[in-house]
Homo-oligomer: A and B are copies of this chain.
Amino acid sequence: MYIILVYDIEEKRVGKMLKLCRQYLNWIQNSVFEGELSEVKLKELLMRSRAIMNMEKDSIIVFSSRQEKWLEKQVIGKEKNDLDNII
The reply to whether A62 and B76 contact each other, CB–CB distance below 8 Å, is yes
A4 lies within 8 A of B63 (CB): yes
Smallest Cβ distance from A25 to chain B, in angstroms? 14
Partner of A63 from the list B54, B60, B72, B80 (CB cut-off 8 Å) is B72
User: Chain B contacts of A75 at CB under 8 A?
Assistant: 59-62
Q: Which of A50, A66, A77 has the most CB of B within 10 A?
A: A77
| In the complex with contacts A6-B32, A8-B30, A70-B70, A76-B60 CB distance below 8 A | yes
Q: Measured between alpha carbons, how far is A49 from B74 in the docked complex, in Å?
A: 13
Q: Which residues of chain A have a CB within 8 Å of any CB of chain B?
A: 4, 6, 8, 28-32, 46, 49-50, 53-67, 70-80
